Amino acid sequence: MAVTVMTWLFAFPLLGFATGMRTMTPIAVLCWFAYFKYLPLQGTWGSWAAMLVSACIFTVFAFGEWIGDKLPQTPNRTDAFPLIARLTFGGLVGALAATGVRGPAIEGLILGVLGAAIGTFVGFMLRRSFAQHCGRDLPVAIIEDGIALLFAALSLHMITS
């Protein structure tokens, strides 16, 4: 499966960007792509991501994150632990996606981490700005959930097409 340079430079960082917005959404989407064999991970180090149990577990985690994100006691995504988790999962989804298209996992990892770093801070600033403008955070947070899901699905569609 050949992946063009433009796909590497746009779709992989976009997948990471989505991870910066919502840590668990892109890995859940990637697991479903792998389970339905759009992203062929069988026989690789990432074959665990193609298992139904992985897709279900990460989907539950994503839903949990969507709910937890709306709670007032949830830490900022830019705090140390949430930031490390976003960067780690950004690298993981990038490496898995690269492996699935028989590309170098290290390049996917690097692009995923870079995208996650940008997505974390840009997403934080945009959400804060829109929430202040709207006077409420909840509608902006729900829209952000949808955008993260859309970006994850779009980037994986581009990578696997």
Signed CA dihedral, 25, 44, 111, 37: sign only: negative
Q: pLDDT grade, residue 56 (50/70/90)? A: very high
Q: pLDDT grade, residue 1 (50/70/90)? A: low
Closest alpha carbon to 108 in 161, 155, 144, 56:
155
Region label for 81, one of left (φ > 0), alpha (ψ between -120 and 50) or beta (otherwise):
alpha
Residue 129's pLDDT is 97
Q: What is the mean pLDDT of residues 103-115?
A: 98
Residue 14's pLDDT is 99
Tens of pLDDT along 60-91? 999 999 999 999 999 999 999 999 999 999 99
In three-state form (DSSP H/G/I as H, E/B as E, the rest C), the secondary structure along 116-151 is HHHHHHHHHHHHHHHHHHHCCCHHHHHHHHHHHHHH
Q: Where are the alpha helices (DSSP H) in 69-104?
A: 80-100
If you search the block for the tokens 């839903």, which residue do you land on? 63
Tens of pLDDT along 117-158? 999 999 999 999 999 999 999 999 999 999 999 999 999 999
